[in-house]
Amino acid sequence: MNLINCKECGKVFASAGTKICPDCRRSEEEQFELVKEYLWDNPNSTVPAVSEATGVEEKMIIKFIKEDRLQSEGLDIDYTLKCKSCGKEIESGIYCENCRNKLVSDFNTKEEKKEKKKDKGKKSDKMFISDRFKRD
Ligand SMILES: [Zn+2]
Ligand SMILES: [Zn+2]
């Protein structure tokens, strides 16, 4: 068992592999029950509607969705993913295709610059080694 800080409340607790303390875990279960009960009566509700009716934070409801906990209970919720960058509706992931492509190309140009620096390092290493050979 490791002593770690709870990801939710920051309290130190003895973890058996979980990242949140038993107290927070319990309240998460309670919140899940609330959401579950609401969705049984009101299937296909939107996240903001569920949040308003149950008092459970939208963030938490989205977490339940992402963990497939609502789906595994056979509950439907009207939840559309939106691109984090431009707000367009998407089917999966965090960004829409356009924004993802843009991010990838930005990332690649950054990587290229890094690679060039690395090459320089290698070359000077080689020069150093051949210098040593000459001396030997
Ligand atoms: Zn906690
Ligand atoms: Zn986008």
- pTM of this structure: 0.53
Ligand nearest to the CA of 7: 1
Beta-carbon neighbours within 5 Å of ion ligand 2: 83, 85-86, 88, 96, 99
Q: Which pLDDT score is estimated for 37? A: 96
Would you list the DSSP string of 70-133?
Answer: HHHTT--EE--EE-TTT--EESSSSS-HHHHHHHHHHHHHHHHHHHHHHHHHHHHHHHHHHHHH
In the reported structure, the alpha carbon of residue 6 is separated from the centroid of ligand 1 by a whole-number distance in angstroms of 5
User: For the segment 67-83, what is each residue's pLDDT rounded down to a tens digit?
Assistant: 889 989 999 888 777 88
Taking 70 as the threshold, does the pLDDT of residue 125 lie above it?
A: no
> Mean pLDDT lowest for which of 26-35, 105-114, 116-125?
116-125
Q: Which pLDDT score is estimated for 2? A: 87
Extents of the domains making up the chain: 23-135
